[in-house]
Amino acid sequence: MKRLICLGLVFVSLPALAMPPGAIALWPGAPPGGAAGGPQQASGKGSITQVAQPYLIAHLPARSTGMAMLVISGGGYAHIEAGKESAPAATWLQAQGIAAFELVYRLPREGGGTSAPFQDAQRAMRLLRSSAAQWQIDPARIGVLGFSAGAHLAGMTAVRPDAPLTAATDAIDRASARPDFAVLLYPVLTMQAPFDTTHAKKTLLGAAPAQSARDALSVELLVDGRTPPVFLAQALDDPVAPVDNSLLMFAALRSAQVPVALHLFQHGGHGWGLGKAGSEPAAWPLLLQAWLRAGSY
């Protein structure tokens, strides 16, 4: 797999930045609002913290269908579970002929503030769309897939793609940040009581946020007719993100007449990634594949 570093539309080498070899930098210089001091840290299982420069990792298929997916791991906005979420998912997507791009985003409490991850996801979508020709992808078939808190980030990108989160820096920022579809797996979506017990909510909003702050980051409240089609999957026994996150989102999408698929598993808990072989959640990749092939989005 060929990997390059991209600043704007020019591919150059950036050894000074704390990114892995082949990473695609999101911003042409320092990211807006700041970032972690670095150097980036990664556990033995691939959990990432201290993101000094947000970036993408490309997984390009040998035979492309033209479809692409921005893949976002969770971790409660406190770390990024790339090792068990975005990396295996991207490898699976690549095998299906879908170009997959793992997003390593800034974490709010490490630099850049609450807006940082949302700025990075929005920028990533614009970068993929503006560079679609060189990645051999269809700019009208770019989706976003998120796990847990990464699903919150994916969901927020889907429901407010045009939010003025930062000043335009270059031509890339003129591209649309709206994903053509969204895949939200064991998602954290609402910041409303009594479902506001997630680490993502605590990281973003603290212990006792104002109602207006809760509303501004509750994905289901921001759904409208322009929201792209959504694929939802969650386990009923999820102990981290109540299944009500998916149920509230499903209801909001139906109310707005946005196409939606909802898959609920009796057992599975939270954080299953691709799903352990033989478990109920292990069905989601094939369910997603069928949904995509049917053109449900």
Fold of 6-293: Rossmann fold (3.40.50)
* pLDDT (0 to 100) of residue 42: 87
* pLDDT (0 to 100) of residue 20: 79
pLDDT in tens, the chain (297 residues): 333 333 333 333 333 336 778 899 999 989 999 999 878 888 888 899 999 999 999 999 999 999 999 999 999 999 999 999 999 999 999 999 999 999 999 999 998 899 999 999 999 999 999 999 999 999 999 999 999 999 999 999 999 999 998 888 899 999 999 999 999 999 999 999 999 999 999 999 999 999 999 999 999 999 999 999 999 999 999 999 999 999 999 999 999 999 999 999 999 999 999 999 999 999 999 999 999 999 866
Q: Specify whether the CB–CB gap between 38 and 18 falls below 8 A.
A: yes
Q: Specify whether the CB–CB gap between 8 and 29 falls below 8 A.
A: no
What residue ranges do the domains of the chain occupy? 6-293
Which helix (H) or strand (E) is 287 found in, with range? helix 284-293
Q: Sign of dihedral through CA atoms 20, 25, 28, 34?
A: negative
Largest interatomic CA distance in the chain = 50
Burial class (CB in 10 A: 0-12, 13-18, 19+), 80: buried
